[in-house]
Structure 1
Amino acid sequence: MNPTVRVATAITGDDEPALVSGLATVPGIDVVRRCADVTELLACAASGVVESVVVSAALRGLDAEALDRLRLDGVGFVVLTGRDEPEAAARLARLGVEHVLVSGGPPSVVGQALLAAHRSPGPALGHGQPRAALARPVPLTDPEPLDPGVGRVVAVWGPTGAPGRTTVAIGLAAELAGGGASTLLVDGDTYGPSVAQSLGLLDESSGLAAAARAADRGSLDLATLAGHAPWVGERLRVLTGVTRPDRWPELRAGSVRAVLELARSLATWTVVDVGFCLEQDEELAFDTAAPRRNGATLSALSVADVVLAVGSADPVGLQRLVRGLGDLAELRDEPPVVVVNRLRAGPVGTNPGRRVRDALRRYADVSHPVLVVHDQASLDAAMLNGRTLAEHGRGSPIRQALQDLVLRLAAGEPDRPREDQQLTV
């Protein structure tokens, strides 16, 4: 005898009574809750009261984040559209909804779809194996046209203390673009977004927030994403961050993830500057779905094919980096590529490269960090002119490490240095 699936409904319009009555006659279906809104529906899912839900596409608040919550709770869902709403079906397809039916159909068909959705609700964070995307060498030049979904995502993370995440992200994106690849630079920092200011761009509106809102509504497509990511150089686009840190709720985890996945079809490389904080314990303090300030960062890290962990070459910065690598290891199985920024003799003594390597090997089991020599004069000049180092600091030693990293990324081996790499200070 097949087990009974507990079902909740959240239906708008006049079809709700007939559907509920009809579902009561479908074998294997037990309607246990009739919800008035998305909040009640998500509460039922989170509490384990229901195992599958049927909901109207027109229900207020049914967006990418709500669907992601259902997936996280392992609840299957069927979405009903109006009889003359082809655009709703297209929107739901962009949101990854597998079971879409036209409202007013036979309850038996809805019941079978609910049973199928229960058996396979879909992965909540289904990103496959990110590093597997780097298994084959990736050319720096773009295919013509860019094949859908083949682009690579690089997340640039670092612990608290401003170790230079944004500097590395901007520099890396500029070098990738300079090497001939279309590149998208994304400011996903919800604490201190600064890509727009660093490049001399107006920050009156956030490109990433606008794209995330479109993803939330299911209206994000390639043309919309490109429209929110203006060109700032040859082959380099930018999605600017939130204009103020208190606007972080605009960057929902599911929406940011959808933006980055679509970015794979817009650019060969997507470089994401993310926030420092990796805490994900909001739900320990709330009885219902909690706001997640770090959701954008965690989504970027989960989507990324490779993560750069940036630390500063001084005793405090290295200690924070070592501790942060431990936190990062709890989120990703694959180790990050460690980048030590601001390498100089002052804080660590003579032969700083050897000292930093020895410390990381001893305390973090990191054998091949990327060492970025400090060059404050070039950074200041680039910041003053709102330019990248590739444009306004061509002779800077910082570019040597970034160009080496570009070659390693293109070869699909980001954690293997070149044999001839020699960095001295």
Structure 2
Amino acid sequence: MIDVLVAVGHGWESRLVTAIDEVPGVRVARRCPDLADLLAAVAAGHGDVAIVSADLRGVGRDAVARMSGDGVAVVGASAEGDEPSERVLRQLGVETVVHPGLDRDELRERLGTAARSTARRADETQVDAGGPGGVGDDGKVADDEPVRGRVVAVWGPTGAPGRTTVAVGVASEAAALGVPTVLLDLDTYGASVAQALSMLDESPGIAAAARASELGTLDLVSLARLAPEVAPGLRVVSGVVSPQRWPELRASAVEQVLELARGLAPLVVLDLGFCVEEDEELSYDTAAPRRNATTLTALAVADDLLVVGAGDPVGLQRLVRAVQSLASVPSPQPRTVVNKVRAAAVGPDPRRRISESLERFAGLTGLVFVPDDPAATDAAMLAGATLAESAPSSPARLALRALAADLLDVEVPRAERHERRGLRRARTRSR
């Protein structure tokens, strides 16, 4: 027996309920007057399928995700021929839609398929299926698998190690190397990409994208409008203008934004907040927004991860602890970037000293070093420009360009390799 919860606000609700009651093996367990009552019934385990209409007040992607997460299949309902409502429901993540006029066999088939599909996904979540979808037994991607952009997450501990500097640098250098890139600011504690690139503080950015996702109106075209091109090949989705607005970024909405961003450009770079704690859930008796869910969601879907730490004793200690904390967080294999490297903070030959310390205390190897160049970074911030625009010969800029080229597996132009060698010789003579 499939128990159905119904929450639709139309005059045809009675016809829909009557049609469901006539289906063998299916019964209406509860008619919910609003979304709050529906969510309570789902949380209490009163149904196997929840039927909602597109104009149910408050229904959005987050509510659909919450019900699916509770093991209840979410099915949409609309009048026959109401294509706009069906489109909204599907954009909210609802895959199955029913109508009051469906015959019993078709209604039973759709409700049963939805319930079985949700139960199967719940089982797969508990059991490691082993490997991403779209990859066959021979390790090759299926021919019909659509091309998806690569997501690079930039994350690091508290203390301003330079996450935004690295994220902006990698994104801008990738675009300059001929790879169209989207930079998303997902820092819910201190978003600063817009300020770094002289974007208007009132630009809608990620908050508008998340809101559109919740309403089921976000698609590739609307996301492109929210991601203005600030340099050739570089689009930017700015962060929340105030840290107090973090509840607007629900995990399900962020997940859809990231999925659409993959179709917007071959490379997606994420600037993330520092905190990955999940204990905030314990502060509530009921389901509530989680401030760190944005970062945790981004880490879980990312293809590559750059962990940024500052090249001083305090920054390195925080970096070691940050890398250790990733062991309990779903995320890609981290690649460590040591930023603001200078002899004044750790002594002569800072790269060797830092390499030895991090390998000894954290087992970290293959480090990427970004030299400290406060004059260049200050000039870039003052101008609201990238390092490539304001200080193209800066050692920090050249290190970030090399990192971007390595991530993309492309060659740095020959002229720039000569420039870097010249800078190294000049520094050697000065020492």
Q: TM-score band (shorter)?
A: 0.7 to 0.9
Counterpart code for 2:273: G
User: What is the aligned-residue RMSD (CA, Å)?
Assistant: 2.8
Q: Helix, strand or coil: the match of 2:403?
A: helix
Runs of 4+ in 1 over 4 A off after TM superposition: 122-128, 420-425
- Change over 3 Å in CA distance of 1:257–1:366 after alignment to 2: same
Q: What corresponds to 1:217 in structure 2?
A: 215
TM-score by length of structure 2 reads: 0.86
Q: More deviation in 313-322 or 173-182?
A: 313-322
Q: What corresponds to 1:262 in structure 2?
A: 260
Q: What corresponds to 2:415 in structure 1?
A: none
What does 1:249-398 align with in structure 2 at a 5 Å threshold? Answer: 249-332=247-330, 334-398=332-396
Cα displacement string for residues 347-379 of structure 1 (whole angstroms, at most 9, x for unaligned residues) = 222221122222222222221121111111100
Q: What corresponds to 1:205 in structure 2?
A: 203
Greater share of residues in helix: 2
Aligned mates of 1:149, 1:249 — CA distance in 2: 32
Is contact 1:312–1:343 with CA below 8 Å preserved after alignment?
Answer: yes
CA displacement at 1:45 relative to structure 2: 2.3
Q: More deviation in 330-339 or 57-66?
A: 330-339
CA displacement at 1:199 relative to structure 2: 1.0
Aligned mates of 1:196, 1:252 — CA distance in 2: 21
Counterpart code for 2:14: P
Cα displacement string for residues 372-416 of structure 1 (whole angstroms, at most 9, x for unaligned residues) = 11111100111111110011111111123222222222139xxxx
Is 1:34 aligned with 2:2? Answer: no
- Change over 3 Å in CA distance of 1:123–1:254 after alignment to 2: farther
Aligned mates of 2:396, 2:121 — CA distance in 1: 41
CA displacement at 1:99 relative to structure 2: 0.7
Of 109, 112, 116, the match for 1:112: 109
Q: What corresponds to 2:398 in structure 1?
A: 400
Higher relative contact order (CA 8 A, sep 6+): 1
Of 71, 77, 80, the match for 1:80: 77
Q: What corresponds to 2:416 in structure 1?
A: none
Q: What corresponds to 1:415 in structure 2?
A: none
Larger radius of gyration: 2
Q: What corresponds to 1:195 in structure 2?
A: 193
Q: Helix, strand or coil: the match of 2:264?
A: coil
Q: Structure 2: which 5+ runs fail to align?
A: 411-419
Counterpart code for 1:225: L
Q: Helix, strand or coil: the match of 1:293?
A: coil
Aligned mates of 2:14, 2:88 — CA distance in 1: 26
Q: Helix, strand or coil: the match of 1:264?
A: helix
CA displacement at 1:268 relative to structure 2: 1.4
Q: What corresponds to 1:139 in structure 2?
A: none
CA displacement at 1:304 relative to structure 2: 1.2
Aligned residues: 403
Q: More deviation in 167-176 or 248-257?
A: 248-257
Q: What corresponds to 2:40 in structure 1?
A: 43
- Change over 3 Å in CA distance of 1:281–1:107 after alignment to 2: farther
- Change over 3 Å in CA distance of 1:44–1:355 after alignment to 2: farther
Aligned mates of 1:371, 1:50 — CA distance in 2: 55
Aligned mates of 1:49, 1:355 — CA distance in 2: 61
TM-score by length of structure 1 reads: 0.87
Q: What corresponds to 2:13 in structure 1?
A: 16
Q: What corresponds to 1:244 in structure 2?
A: 242
